Structure 1
């Protein structure tokens, strides 16, 4: 038995056990960094990053856990949390783990009605909320939540809404209660953690879903313990890593990253404000970071747009360097696949060295200069963008996982990643392809079912323990997995041709630096069309250069000039597609897709049915008078 197998098979009972062991092993090492506003430094004020050691973290986590115990909560009873990504979210989650209760994750962007549904369906007894805004969502539905007793607020203020029938505490008050409880019962947390069973409910995460009501995914303590150990033995996280964490912690990906960090004892710098990512990276100087493909697309499009705006030699140098990066990464990968070793022609290595001095060094510096890898999930990254960042020295390590698998089941290794794939299975996880191409998974990270939905559970979990993902894919000779599309997204044209829309959408995003989102349509139609949105930060400078300054985003998007610009990229993509795959018509929408209008999930996946319904008239107009193509 290998050492990795031994560690996996002898994994601890829970992340709570791992946490207490981590604190005992490295009490004085840094655990978390977080930003704090400092007053009196200029009109707008400034921020500074502060740290918690593992011992300081434990003091707060144990106080929170003990505070929860004073509420009379029993093992596996649910406590919800609705907050943006911040250090208090992590402390509360670890506190729930150590109290033996189960966390119910609620996205802070979730509306009041759906928040109430999740709280009722989960049977949550208490909820942590970030502020008055999140409290208000709970307060207006208290009549329909008879099981909810307590609300704990991270950031209280003078305008907190009344919550009839609920005990409203601040986080500080809960910790004070917990500290007093521990003075009387110093072994309370050790006893609570000692009672945790591997198959006990740890977390309910409700799928954001692209259709229908969210389903509560039941993840047990062993799911997270497996994730923690698998990340360590596979080298995804190292003890000396500094991880920049901005992803929503209500998402399964963020939960898995915390589990791995506790196991390795590395550092997390946490700040969920999307508009601070670019500012934070040079300050934090992370060695690892997890992200969604949309972020890398935005970064690439921004770099390309700035170089074009500068024009002349700078733009030509960028275009040349971008192609060199792609050639360098693609050639290196192809030689590894073919021969087992990386081999590059001298002329390409020389060009890459020159491009590195001129361009790539600045890109790495923008990411903090220390990044050894950035894990990417939730959707496919266009290969051309993946090759660009790989060649520039910012490896984007695509992985694959679902809420139902407690996040990652496959991931690309730092030392041998392959663009266009989602890597190899994590140790202890099995992957196979069904006869119809569907990806099936089995392993300790797989959920124990959907909460209160045995029929839905039976639809995806078979009697042999295989989880049916609904994704279509393939496995190459070296064990790397490639996702080709969502099973439910595949459609057939009226001419009987199958279309994988994700593949076409990915190609378009790779060639069009102005693209934000694209939705290819054609189910039971006689040709494909597309709904396209453009990136405001990129299209507005272009509009200025075209004499369209002063117009709104909507006016620019609907202009003949913008249509002609996008049409050039559509035709470029069409040139590499089969006739039945080509986009015959498209519409540029008057605004981008967003979470607020329900068009994107919190993890930035497009809700196809929602978008198609909202823009049904636009779609129908593209098929008016259509004849067989």
Structure 2
């Protein structure tokens, strides 16, 4: 087996827990701004002392309500300031937070609340409260419900006023690294979600070895600030929340994805995290805007894209020549500067995870002055296991292990991981834990990948998602899907072909991109169903399929595709809250369309 290790950089003490920094900074740096809160009238700074006091007040209220050390408390809300307050207040009370996606159904809430044995739950809105009441109606113990929009934080703080400071201090100091910090339920592309037990040590070890190791440059300068808009119920955003609090980076939240653009310009972050779909949309929007401006603007934009990619590739292999640098400087004024201005003008770096960004987009953004560092990990590994490094960003890979982590690739290609960031096991599921962590301590990720000679990892697919055609050819769908999805008109692409004579694909269209395309192509009144059979749309998708097919052998190429008249969404049940496609449900619900491809 091939493996690669990076030595531990920060040996986090066994006594450390996730809430220590909030109280220490509140005392030592009371006036330091740690959070910026969008109140509707602009961004209001929250100091370390103010944040500590709000966390302490809500924690005392939870203690007054009967929450005991080790009790589980649910947290169901969009990404907003109160989410972070509640998260740290639960930890300060000595309890265990159990995040629940705010889009979850009553059945999903029922499973998580019952499986975790939660004693209460913090919800955001009246609609969330109604969902939870329906979900817990048959659960024993009548878990308490605290609603953010109902002013419950003020109520909890008032109710906990008589709880002595010493009691709160005893609660938070009694929790050490080995104690459970959170149970994060995997969003589940198949079956019931499993609860991943993550300890305080898992989170603290990860946060400090990432922030002081590969990503140190992002968190060591003055004026650093980050905008969170991904769901904090997801492990990726959650560990970044912990990193930001630990490093004193100013943290801001965007509850509504539609507000990301305006919030970027108003808050002006220096750091961002996202999933590939977010960056694809940024690129596609810029491309569509250029196309709408006419032939010359479109030509300038595509020349700028080619130049950015060429410059980035040259920088990775010895540096760009004088002519290329001059071209890039010219396009910086015409194109790249405007793109950076749309993000607030201070953003120069972003971290991307969840799935593959693709080499073309990675090189484009780097050439445009916003370098994206891809990383890799799972909920079971406290989110990251590998990440690319400023100054050594190998685009197309997910980077090297961060300090304290060992990554291996087994004989069958499966990626294996070891380190203090690996979870404590699945809640109430010893059988699944034994399947995931072998007797040598390796966590089996289920992903397939390759390690190069420098220790950089490349993910090539999911072990269980490999397609085996009727001719016995193994096909990894992800690279094909990523290339097809690079088309601005395409929202999602699912490659199929298990036990079939050839590889085919289901394609959906992006409604936002279609609106601009229709205006630019004289199809303003066309319906989605009409566009699915429009020769120009089919030709555009065919070009992307051809580009994808150029990556693989003939036996792996997509021979046919169908454009569906609906998109895969979280609401339709085909996407997880972290925007991963539930492949098994797509192939079930679109079985007729798949069969038609082979008829």
Q: Give the C-alpha shift of residue 382 in structure 1.
A: 1.7
Checking the alignment, whether the CA contact within 8 Å between 2:14 and 2:178 is kept in structure 1 is no
Structure 1 residues 137-191: Cα deviation after superposition (integer angstroms, max 9, x where no partner): 12123332213431110002xxxxxxxxxxxx8222111112332xxx1212211
Checking the alignment, whether the CA contact within 8 Å between 2:22 and 2:48 is kept in structure 1 is no
Is 2:233 the counterpart of 1:250?
A: yes
2:544 counterpart SS class: helix
Aligned residues: 589
Q: Give the C-alpha shift of residue 522 in structure 1.
A: 0.8
1:414 counterpart SS class: coil
Is 2:508 the counterpart of 1:533?
A: yes
Checking the alignment, whether the CA contact within 8 Å between 1:124 and 1:148 is kept in structure 2 is no
Q: Using the alignment, how far apart are the partners of 1:25 and 1:257 within structure 2?
A: 23
Q: Give the C-alpha shift of residue 237 in structure 1.
A: 2.8
Q: Could you list the runs of 5+ residues in structure 1 that have no partner in the other structure?
A: 38-46, 157-168, 336-341, 625-629
Checking the alignment, whether the CA contact within 8 Å between 1:124 and 1:147 is kept in structure 2 is no
Checking the alignment, whether the CA contact within 8 Å between 1:11 and 1:229 is kept in structure 2 is no
Could you tell me which of 467, 470, 483 is aligned with 2:446?
Answer: 470
Structure 1 residues 266-294: Cα deviation after superposition (integer angstroms, max 9, x where no partner): 10011121000011111111110111100
Q: Give the C-alpha shift of residue 576 in structure 1.
A: 4.2
Structure 1 residues 579-615: Cα deviation after superposition (integer angstroms, max 9, x where no partner): 1121111111112110011100100011101111111
Other-structure match for 2:263: 280
Is 2:383 the counterpart of 1:416?
A: no
In the TM superposition, what are the counterparts of 1:37-436 in structure 2 within 5 Å? 37=40, 47-156=41-150, 170-181=152-163, 185-234=164-213, 235=216, 236-238=218-220, 240=222, 241-333=224-316, 335=317, 342-436=318-412
Other-structure match for 2:413: 437
Q: Using the alignment, how far apart are the partners of 2:292 and 2:67 within structure 1?
A: 59
2:391 counterpart SS class: helix
2:411 counterpart SS class: coil
Checking the alignment, whether the CA contact within 8 Å between 2:350 and 2:370 is kept in structure 1 is yes
Q: Give the C-alpha shift of residue 99 in structure 1.
A: 0.8
Change beyond 3 A, Cα 1:6–1:559:
closer
Q: Give the C-alpha shift of residue 106 in structure 1.
A: 0.4
Checking the alignment, whether the CA contact within 8 Å between 2:14 and 2:176 is kept in structure 1 is no
Is 2:21 the counterpart of 1:21?
A: no
Q: Using the alignment, how far apart are the partners of 1:285 and 1:212 within structure 2?
A: 40
Q: Using the alignment, how far apart are the partners of 2:509 and 2:53 within structure 1?
A: 48
Q: TM-score, normalised by structure 1?
A: 0.91
Structure 1 residues 430-461: Cα deviation after superposition (integer angstroms, max 9, x where no partner): 11111111111111111111111100111111
2:177 counterpart SS class: coil
Q: Using the alignment, how far apart are the partners of 2:426 and 2:14 within structure 1?
A: 25
Q: Using the alignment, how far apart are the partners of 1:531 and 1:149 within structure 2?
A: 43
Q: Using the alignment, how far apart are the partners of 1:544 and 1:61 within structure 2?
A: 50
Checking the alignment, whether the CA contact within 8 Å between 2:197 and 2:424 is kept in structure 1 is yes
Q: Using the alignment, how far apart are the partners of 2:382 and 2:113 within structure 1?
A: 21
Checking the alignment, whether the CA contact within 8 Å between 1:82 and 1:128 is kept in structure 2 is yes
Change beyond 3 A, Cα 1:478–1:6:
closer
C-alpha RMSD of matched pairs (Å): 1.5
Other-structure match for 2:569: 594
Q: Give the C-alpha shift of residue 475 in structure 1.
A: 1.4
Q: Give the C-alpha shift of residue 555 in structure 1.
A: 2.9
Q: Higher mean Cα deviation, 260-269 or 223-232? A: 223-232
Q: Give the C-alpha shift of residue 5 in structure 1.
A: 4.4
Checking the alignment, whether the CA contact within 8 Å between 2:12 and 2:204 is kept in structure 1 is no
Q: Using the alignment, how far apart are the partners of 1:576 and 1:437 within structure 2?
A: 20
Other-structure match for 2:473: 497
Q: Give the C-alpha shift of residue 524 in structure 1.
A: 1.1
Other-structure match for 1:43: none
Structure 1 residues 40-94: Cα deviation after superposition (integer angstroms, max 9, x where no partner): xxxxxxx321121010001010011111111222211100010001000000000
Q: Using the alignment, how far apart are the partners of 2:28 and 2:8 within structure 1?
A: 23
2:588 counterpart SS class: helix
Q: Give the C-alpha shift of residue 393 in structure 1.
A: 0.6
Q: Using the alignment, how far apart are the partners of 2:12 and 2:566 within structure 1?
A: 51
1:155 counterpart SS class: helix
Q: Give the C-alpha shift of residue 343 in structure 1.
A: 2.1
Q: Higher mean Cα deviation, 170-179 or 404-413? A: 170-179
Higher RCO (C-alpha 8 Å, min separation 6) = 2
Other-structure match for 2:3: none
Q: Give the C-alpha shift of residue 464 in structure 1.
A: 2.1
1:456 counterpart SS class: helix
Other-structure match for 2:435: 459
Q: Using the alignment, how far apart are the partners of 1:141 and 1:17 within structure 2?
A: 34
Q: Give the C-alpha shift of residue 296 in structure 1.
A: 0.5
Q: Could you list the runs of 5+ residues in structure 2 that have no partner in the other structure?
A: 1-6
Checking the alignment, whether the CA contact within 8 Å between 1:519 and 1:532 is kept in structure 2 is yes
Q: Using the alignment, how far apart are the partners of 1:5 and 1:457 within structure 2?
A: 25
Checking the alignment, whether the CA contact within 8 Å between 1:438 and 1:469 is kept in structure 2 is yes
1:127 counterpart SS class: strand
Q: Using the alignment, how far apart are the partners of 1:491 and 1:93 within structure 2?
A: 41
Could you tell me which of 476, 479, 483 is aligned with 1:507?
Answer: 483
Q: Using the alignment, how far apart are the partners of 1:8 and 1:401 within structure 2?
A: 21
